[in-house]
Chains A and B, each alone.
Chain A
Amino acid sequence: MKPDPGHFLGVVAGHLMTRTAPALPDPYEQSTVGILGLMLISVGEEFERAASRRVDENQALRRLFADAVPAVEDAELRGRLEVAATGSDGDLKVSALEASNSALRGLLIELHAHVEELESAPARRIEEAIWRELVASTERRRLAMGPF
Chain B
Amino acid sequence: MPEAQDVRVENLERIFGGASRETYRFTLVWCAAGETQSRPLILRRDPPGSLIDTDRAVEFGAYQAFHGTGVPVPEPLWLEEDSSWLDHPFFVMEQLTGFEASPQALMAPPYSDHADKLAQQKWAILGEISRADPKQLGLEAVMEPVAVDVCWQRELAHWESEIDRAELCPQPVIRAAIRWLRRTPPPPAQKLSVVHADFRTGNFLCDSDGVIHAILDWEMAHLGDPLEDLAWGLNPIWCWAKDGRVGGLASREDAIRIWEESSGLRAEPDALHWWEVFSSVKGQAIWVSGAQEFTAGKNQDPILALSAWLMGNSQDRAVLHALGHLP
Contacts and interface: CB of A to CB of B under 8 A. Distances in A.
Interface string A78-115: 00000000000000000000100110011011001100
Contact of A105 (B169, B240, B318): B169
Nearest to B239: A148
A27 B325 CA distance: 42
B172 A116 contact: no
B176 A39 contact: no
A28 B15 contact: yes
A137 B169 CA distance: 14
A59 to B, nearest CB: 17
Interface residues of B, number: 35
A112 B172 contact: yes
A33 B75 CA distance: 32
A102 B17 CA distance: 31
Nearest to A106: B170
Contacts of B310: 42, 143, 145-147
Contacts, number: 95
Nearest to A146: B314
B313 A39 contact: no
A51 interface: no
A113 B16 contact: no
Q: Which label, helix, strand, loop or mixed, suits the secondary structure of the A interface?
A: helix
A97 to B, nearest CB: 12
B311 interface: yes
B236 interface: yes
Contacts of B172: 105, 108-109, 112, 134, 137
A125 B121 CA distance: 47
Given A109-B175, A134-B173, A134-B325, A147 B306 contact: no
Given A35-B303, A147-B238, A142 B313 contact: yes
A36 B169 CA distance: 23
Interface string A104-137: 0110110011001000000000000001001101
Interface in B50-71: none
A135 to B, nearest CB: 6
B286 interface: no
A113 B320 contact: no
B135 interface: no
Given A27-B13, A28-B14, A138-B317, A39 B170 contact: no
B298 interface: no
B180 to A, nearest CB: 9
B88 interface: no
A131 B326 CA distance: 10
A38 B311 CA distance: 13
B164 to A, nearest CB: 12
Residue from A27, A31, A108, A134 having most chain B Cβ neighbours under 10 A: A134
Top 3 A-B pairs, shortest CB-CB distance: A31-B16, A105-B170, A148-B314
26 contacts: A26-B13, A26-B14, A27-B13, A27-B16, A28-B16, A32-B302, A38-B306, A39-B302, A102-B169, A105-B172, A109-B170, A116-B179, A131-B176, A131-B325, A134-B172, A134-B173, A135-B326, A137-B173, A138-B313, A138-B316, A138-B320, A143-B313, A147-B239, A147-B240, A148-B237, A148-B317
